[in-house]
């Protein structure tokens, strides 16, 4: 029984995704919730996920933490605003590699379904610690990011605390 409790305490879902504090930024997290990224239902009865965001203080976050993308917030994103949104979820490892939280490695996409952003969105994808879960990180800028905005976003990425594993 003690071993079971110890194993549960070390599972990724016992330590949900979060951002550490960063001066001049606001943040929030969902805790562990049922997954909206249900690609493991054949082997996991009730898949889980955890989401978190961090945004510059000039951003009023208007969406639930789990919204992907946070369209209401993005519709009002100030030119100098930056949001970093992340999710971890149960998945099959597939061909993904461990995630590297480096903005220089992010892919750039047009954004978004409900809110157009001139700067588009940037995305990092990979596996979390011990290959125990998948990670998606999306970075949104209120205008085309220069060196300063990219450095600020990287500082936020550096504050992302991925769940521990066994």
Show the beta-strand stretches assigned E in 1-133. 18-19, 25-34, 48-56, 82-89, 107-109, 121-127
pTM of the shown model: 0.88
- Burial (CB < 10 A; 0-12, 13-18, 19+), residue 11, is middle
- Reading the block at residue 107, the tokens are 């892919």
Give per-residue pLDDT as tens, 23-65.
Answer: 999 999 999 888 887 665 556 667 889 999 999 999 999 999 9
Question: How far does Cα 130 stand from its chain's mean position?
Answer: 18
Q: Give phi and psi for 75, each to the nearest 5.
A: -65, -25
CA distance 29 to 112: 22
CA distance 37 to 16: 16
CA distance 61 to 122: 18
Give per-residue pLDDT as tens, 89-107.
Answer: 988 767 889 999 999 999 9
């Amino acid at each position: 029984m003690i071993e079971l409790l110890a194993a549960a305490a070390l599972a990724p879902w016992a330590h949900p995704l979060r951002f550490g504090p960063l001066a001049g930024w606001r943040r929030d997290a969902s805790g562990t919730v049922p997954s909206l990224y249900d690609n493991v239902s054949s082997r996991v009865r009730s898949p889980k996920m955890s989401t978190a965001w961090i945004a510059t203080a000039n951003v009023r976050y208007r969406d639930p933490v789990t919204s992907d993308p946070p369209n209401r917030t993005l519709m009002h994103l100030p030119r100098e605003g930056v949001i970093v949104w992340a999710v971890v979820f149960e998945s099959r490892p597939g061909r993904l590699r461990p995630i590297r939280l480096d903005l220089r490695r992010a892919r750039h996409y047009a954004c978004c379904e409900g809110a157009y952003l001139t700067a588009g969105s940037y995305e990092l994808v990979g596996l979390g610690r011990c290959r125990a879960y998948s990670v998606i990180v999306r970075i949104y800028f209120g205008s085309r990011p220069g060196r300063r905005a990219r450095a600020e976003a990287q500082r936020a990425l550096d504050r992302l605390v991925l769940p521990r594993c066994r």
